[in-house]
Amino acid sequence: MKKHIKGDRHIDKHIDRHIDKHIDRHIDKHIDRHIDRYIHIFTDRRIDWRIDRHIFFVLKPICKKWGAPSFKHA
């Protein structure tokens, strides 16, 4: 196991950024897979509350980011 040296914080930041990129890409892929089925969420204010929980939690922050209809009752 490598000792934690002073310069490592910079490396950590770099790794974090790299991981973030991968996570974004993964989420994009994940959304693409489901977006057609759930596209009305972005366009219709009467949201289908029977929506699959996992998808709901994936879409929620993205909807917020895009200023889509709010999930007030979530």
Please report whether residue 44 resides in a domain: yes
What pLDDT is stored for residue 20 in this prediction? 72
Nearest in space to 47 (alpha carbons), one of 26, 70, 25, 16:
70
Range of the domain at 26: 8-66
What pLDDT is stored for residue 39 in this prediction? 58
pTM of the full predicted structure? 0.25
What pLDDT is stored for residue 13 in this prediction? 74
What pLDDT is stored for residue 17 in this prediction? 75
Please report whether residue 2 resides in a domain: no
Q: How many domains, in total, are found in the chain?
A: 1
> 9, exposed or middle or buried, with CB in 10 Å at 0-12, 13-18, 19+?
exposed
Q: What is the pLDDT of residues 5-57, one digit of tens each?
A: 556 666 677 777 777 777 777 676 766 666 655 655 555 544 555 555 556 66
Amino acid at 1: M
Please report whether residue 72 resides in a domain: no
